[in-house]
Structure 1
Amino acid sequence: MSCGGHSIFFVSGCLFLLTALILDVIGVAAPYWIYGETSGLKVNAGLWKECATADIFGQKISKCTEYGEGPVLDWLKAVRAFGLLGIFISTIAIISAILKIRLKDRVFVLIIAIILSFISAVCTIVSIAVYAGKYHELEKDDSFVKFSFAFAFCAVSIVLSVIAGICLIIELAKRSSYASIVGR
């Protein structure tokens, strides 16, 4: 099967890469890695800021604080760095895949996109693993705060990056077997 002259595996791999990048950007940027609500108090926090909303005597009071206003913990810096690195590497993987469209006979561009999709997944794994480990270390009691959608988006982006890499590997294998049949 082909789609516009490209295999369905190549097109699927590109779409998975793009979707993974979008989810990763939303996940890293959103202040909802954790969320909690109890007796009129709502809290949420991400990699860049934390917010709290309280209902005091029928009046809502909200306050958001950027993490840059005080000292940022080293583990949070690492989580940010690996999250941003995953986004950057995903972007380069997508650019490599687009270059493959223009450079039809250049297999190395496809190999670069494959490698970068897996490296992006590893960077995001490190990011959420460090955050989850530190979260559980800080919240040893049964806290009312739980992981939220931004954390889940980053986790889903890992899966999509790996699926994209697998699709592109299948594309590479198909092209390699085709090239050996025609004698290229």
Structure 2
Amino acid sequence: MKNIVILISGSGSNMAAIVRRAQQEQWSERLHARVSAVISNKADAQGLAFAREQGIATAVLDHKAFDSREAFDAALKVEIDRFEPDLVVLAGFMRILTPGFVAHYAGRLINIHPSLLPAFTGLNTHQRAIDAGCRFAGATVHQVTAELDHGAILAQAVVPVLPDDTADTLAARVLTQEHRIYPQAVAAWLRSQG
């Protein structure tokens, strides 16, 4: 059985989309894969309740309890590795990861970003797309590398930027597409591993 560990910081809506797709498509039987744990850096992350309701193991590791990013990442790595992950999925995990952490999971660490990478890496992507006059925006699933939002692209979805869009209305349309392409990309990655 391939173990998937999902990292969240908030609502966990992309995590929930992946868990639901895994149930609907019977990943445990068809892909020999399961979401084995959901880990958050915030104890009040709403997504933890959903994971517990689904019978998924959860853990919290508060980044504020550590003196450095490196110390937090080292402890996070230990926590993740307890679940023997084949794939680590960042689903709204709002932490920049250290190169050592990324190297430890090279080739099995993926993220979703709310823009059409390589455009608009980092934060405030929707407002930046509107301000730049973009006619299209979207989301990208990508491999995680030490360089922020620059790994190999695994999937993308495009949405139009409408004349009356605000950052919030554009974000809502993009999020709908994130919930569609992230589970697809995870399933494709699992199939590629045999």
Q: TM-score, normalised by structure 1?
A: 0.27
Q: Where is the helix percentage greater, Structure 1 or Structure 2?
A: 1
Q: TM-score, normalised by structure 2?
A: 0.26
- Select the structure with the greater relative contact order (CA < 8 A; seq sep ≥ 6): 1
Q: Where is the strand percentage greater, Structure 1 or Structure 2?
A: 2
> Larger Cα Rg: Structure 1 or Structure 2?
1
